[in-house]
């Protein structure tokens, strides 16, 4: 009887941590699904529902989020850990990876049971026509057009090493992974990089080219986590151990197909898989999304545009824009006024602000995540503020430069101090140009704020990121259209302010 009670208590164990378990994912279909599988497997053993931060971007961003403590665990692949994170070109087993990750405060485990390797593919018809069966055959056809994902182009286990190994002379173009399937279907490109569990390989009749030099390593799916996760969430961690070996390649392909070809929601797919496998024990109120999520893919464009998440995404997007432009104005206007009398200093400060505009947004976000130790609104807000500085500073300086010196001299002759001259002469006359800078910064911020979704800060970018992952043009437009409408409304608002102030253009 005692043993039965002990077993029952273990099965019903719930972690009492005041913090939620935070689960991340990369920006492709399989990672979205696996994040939901992890969350729902752990949910019934948590005092608080787990937080799933979907579509956080490529390996660099998700890894930095894990290192900084912004997330606790995410699904990763053995080959990526070895080559991209540990920078090790030699084969490693799981124990060797654990020892190498230990100084980083990270752990790896729970092999899920399938390998999702990189490969190149082309249409079976074209492959038969050209006699291409293996990667080495591509060297005989330098005119073939390759469209490869941007991450694959830059990875150490991607194009640089692949082209060297097989002597490939083609110059590939960078494409989003999801869009590449449309491009090859439309015969705009000939060869794409694929994941071996992609659902569209068979759907589009693609031939996966044999890796005859065994260039690609195995990419066995597993969990990469912070070492303190088992301590903070022991019951949830025990539940996650049960996922080991419970997802084979055929099951993963089927789950990807349900998302990409049938349009089933990610959480529904995860819940159905766990129910089929019988690995989840639902013992408390903490399960996520207990009722089926409405299928966003099966709805038309208008239903997606006016979906239940519209108000939430609008509020998040608007908050990011207003906060970033306000902070930028509070910083840029005083800085422009202070540097205006000093041409060299002014040029240096404007040059620095201009330099910030040249930094790619995702690279800046990755750097800010590492610097701030956080993902979400804070790094997104800081990035947007930095991007908004230049137009406000430049227009403020330009407006001050357009104030006639004669008016300044007249003000001084009337006994005005420098502060009074600035308040009553310089700034009022520079206001039209200054306001135009704020107007430009606002438009830039509305468009750039879509990147916030890559680090879990929400906004209309959530729809865009998910639409890219699923190659769903309606969902992409459902994110892009509200952003465009917000930009038009901001233009109308600034036009009204301009007229109210009696500013002539």
DSSP calls for 471-485: T-HHHHHHHHHHHHH
Q: Is residue 337 part of a domain?
A: yes
Spatial strand order of the sheet with 51-53 comes to 51-53, 22-24, 73-77, 221-226, 106-109
My answer on whether 458 and 367 are in the same domain is yes
- Count of residues making up the chain: 505
Instruction: Provide the sign of the torsion angle of the four alpha carbons 356, 149, 264, 256, taken in this order.
Output: negative
Residue with tokens 């209309």: 460
Asked if 40 and 72 touch (Cβ cutoff 8 Å), the reply is: no
106 three-state secondary structure: strand
Q: Is residue 198 part of a domain?
A: yes
Report the alpha-carbon distance of residue 381 to residue 383 in Å, rounded: 5
CA distances, 200 to each of 33, 120, 258, 269 (Å): 16, 13, 11, 17
Residue range(s) defining the domain that contains residue 171:
118-208
Domain end marker among 208, 228, 252 = 208
CA distances, 143 to each of 130, 138, 146, 500 (Å): 12, 9, 9, 61
Domain end marker among 143, 177, 208 = 208
Tell me the angle at which helices 266-277 and 249-260 cross, rounded to the nearest 10 degrees.
150
My answer on whether 88 and 236 are in the same domain is yes
| Distance from chain centroid for Cα 292 | 25
Joined tokens for residue 445: 């911020």
Look at residues 442, 448, 435 and name the one whose alpha carbon lies nearest to residue 399: 435
Which residues 6+ apart lie within 8 Å of 404 measured at CB? none
CA contacts within 13 A on the Cβ side of 138: 29
Asked if 436 and 43 touch (Cβ cutoff 8 Å), the reply is: no
My answer on whether 241 and 361 are in the same domain is no
My answer on whether 405 and 458 are in the same domain is yes
499 three-state secondary structure: helix
Asked if 68 and 52 touch (Cβ cutoff 8 Å), the reply is: no
Asked if 408 and 341 touch (Cβ cutoff 8 Å), the reply is: no
Report the alpha-carbon distance of residue 173 to residue 147 in Å, rounded: 5
Q: Is residue 2 part of a domain?
A: no
Pairing between β-strand 73-77 and β-strand 206-208 as defined by DSSP bridges: unpaired
The pTM assigned to this predicted structure is 0.77
Supply the pLDDT for residue 16: 59
My answer on whether 274 and 329 are in the same domain is no
Q: Specify the CATH number for the domain of residue 194.
A: 3.40.190.120
Which residues 6+ apart lie within 8 Å of 292 measured at CB? 265, 268
Q: Is residue 159 part of a domain?
A: yes
Joined tokens for residue 435: 């306001």
Q: Is residue 304 part of a domain?
A: no
Report the alpha-carbon distance of residue 5 to residue 371 in Å, rounded: 48
Asked if 372 and 382 touch (Cβ cutoff 8 Å), the reply is: yes
Report the alpha-carbon distance of residue 216 to residue 360 in Å, rounded: 29
| Residues 311-320 as b or e (16 or more Cβ within 10 Å = b) | eebbebbbbb
Joined tokens for residue 496: 């009204």
My answer on whether 400 and 433 are in the same domain is yes
Asked if 193 and 120 touch (Cβ cutoff 8 Å), the reply is: yes
Report the alpha-carbon distance of residue 216 to residue 194 in Å, rounded: 12
Q: Is residue 301 part of a domain?
A: no
Look at residues 436, 438, 346 and name the one whose alpha carbon lies nearest to residue 388: 438
Residue with tokens 């009696």: 502
Look at residues 125, 127, 95 and name the one whose alpha carbon lies nearest to residue 111: 95
My answer on whether 283 and 326 are in the same domain is no
Helices (H), 281-417: 301-305, 310-339, 343-358, 361-372, 377-401, 405-413
Q: Is residue 384 part of a domain?
A: yes
Q: Is residue 122 part of a domain?
A: yes
Q: Specify the CATH number for the domain of residue 256.
A: 3.40.190.10
Asked if 467 and 473 touch (Cβ cutoff 8 Å), the reply is: yes
Phi, psi of 455 (to 5 degrees): -125, 25
Look at residues 198, 174, 298, 243 and name the one whose alpha carbon lies nearest to residue 23: 243
My answer on whether 479 and 405 are in the same domain is yes
Supply the pLDDT for residue 4: 42
Consecutive H or E run containing 166: helix 159-166
My answer on whether 360 and 459 are in the same domain is yes
Report the alpha-carbon distance of residue 469 to residue 124 in Å, rounded: 24
Q: Specify the CATH number for the domain of residue 470.
A: 1.10.3720.10
Report the alpha-carbon distance of residue 330 to residue 124 in Å, rounded: 59
My answer on whether 434 and 489 are in the same domain is yes
Domain total in the chain: 3
> Torsion angle, CA of 132/134/135/141, rounded to 10 degrees?
-20
117 three-state secondary structure: coil
My answer on whether 405 and 486 are in the same domain is yes
Per-block mean pLDDT, blocks of 10 residues, the chain (505 long): 44 67 92 96 92 86 89 95 91 94 95 94 95 96 93 87 94 87 92 92 92 93 96 95 93 92 89 79 38 50 88 94 96 94 92 87 79 83 94 94 88 85 89 94 94 85 84 86 95 91 68
Supply the pLDDT for residue 504: 62
My answer on whether 364 and 428 are in the same domain is yes
């Amino acid at each position: 009887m005692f043993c039965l009670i002990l077993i029952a208590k273990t099965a019903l164990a719930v972690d009492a941590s005041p913090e939620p378990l935070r689960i991340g994912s990369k920006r492709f279909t399989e990672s979205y699904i696996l994040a939901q599988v992890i969350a729902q497997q752990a949910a019934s053993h948590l005092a608080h529902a787990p937080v799933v931060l979907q579509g956080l971007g490529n390996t660099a961003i998700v890894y930095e989020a894990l290192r900084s403590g912004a997330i606790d665990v995410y699904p990763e692949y053995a080959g990526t850990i070895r080559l991209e994170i540990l920078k090790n070109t030699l084969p490693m087993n799981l124990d060797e990876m654990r020892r190498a990750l230990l100084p980083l405060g990270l752990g790896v485990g729970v092999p899920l049971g399938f390998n999702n390797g990189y490969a190149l593919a082309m249409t079976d018809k074209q492959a038969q026509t050209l006699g291409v069966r293996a990667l080495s055959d591509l060297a005989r056809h330098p005119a073939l057009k390759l469209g490869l994902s941007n991450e694959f182009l830059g990875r150490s286990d991607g194009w640089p090493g692949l082209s060297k190994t097989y002597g490939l002379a083609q110059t590939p173009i960078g494409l989003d992974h999801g869009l590449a399937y449309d491009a090859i279907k439309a015969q705009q490109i000939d060869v794409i990089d694929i994941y071996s569990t992609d659902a569209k390989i068979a759907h589009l009749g693609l031939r996966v080219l044999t890796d005859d030099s065994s260039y690609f390593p195995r990419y066995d799916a597993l969990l990469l986590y912070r070492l303190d996760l088992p301590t903070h969430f022991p019951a949830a961690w025990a539940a996650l151990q049960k996922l080991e070996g419970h997802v084979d390649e055929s099951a993963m392909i089927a789950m990807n197909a349900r998302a990409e070809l049938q349009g089933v929601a990610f959480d529904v797919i995860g819940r159905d898989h766990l129910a089929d496998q019988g690995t989840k024990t639902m013992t408390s109120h903490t399960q996520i999304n207990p009722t089926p999520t409405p299928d966003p893919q099966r709805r038309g464009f208008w239903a997606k545009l006016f979906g239940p998440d519209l108000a939430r995404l609008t509020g998040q997007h608007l908050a990011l824009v207003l906060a970033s432009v306000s902070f930028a104005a509070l910083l840029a206007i005083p800085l422009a006024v202070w540097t205006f009398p000093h041409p060299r200093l002014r040029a240096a400060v404007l040059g620095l602000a201009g330099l910030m505009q040249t930094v790619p947004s995702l690279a800046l976000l990755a750097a800010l995540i590492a610097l701030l130790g956080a993902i979400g609104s804070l790094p997104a807000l800081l990035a947007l503020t930095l991007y908004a500085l230049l137009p406000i500073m430049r227009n403020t300086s330009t407006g001050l430069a357009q104030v006639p010196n004669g008016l300044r001299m007249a003000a001084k002759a009337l006994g005005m101090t420098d502060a009074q001259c600035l308040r009553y002469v310089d700034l009022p006359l520079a206001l039209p140009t200054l306001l135009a800078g704020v107007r430009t910064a606002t438009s830039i911020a509305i468009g750039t704020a879509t990147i916030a979704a890559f680090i879990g800060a929400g906004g209309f970018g959530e729809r865009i990121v998910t639409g890219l992952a699923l190659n769903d043009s309606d969902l992409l437009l459902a994110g892009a259209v509200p952003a465009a409408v917000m930009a038009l409304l901001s233009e109308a608002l600034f036009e009204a302010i301009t007229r109210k102030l009696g500013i002539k253009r």
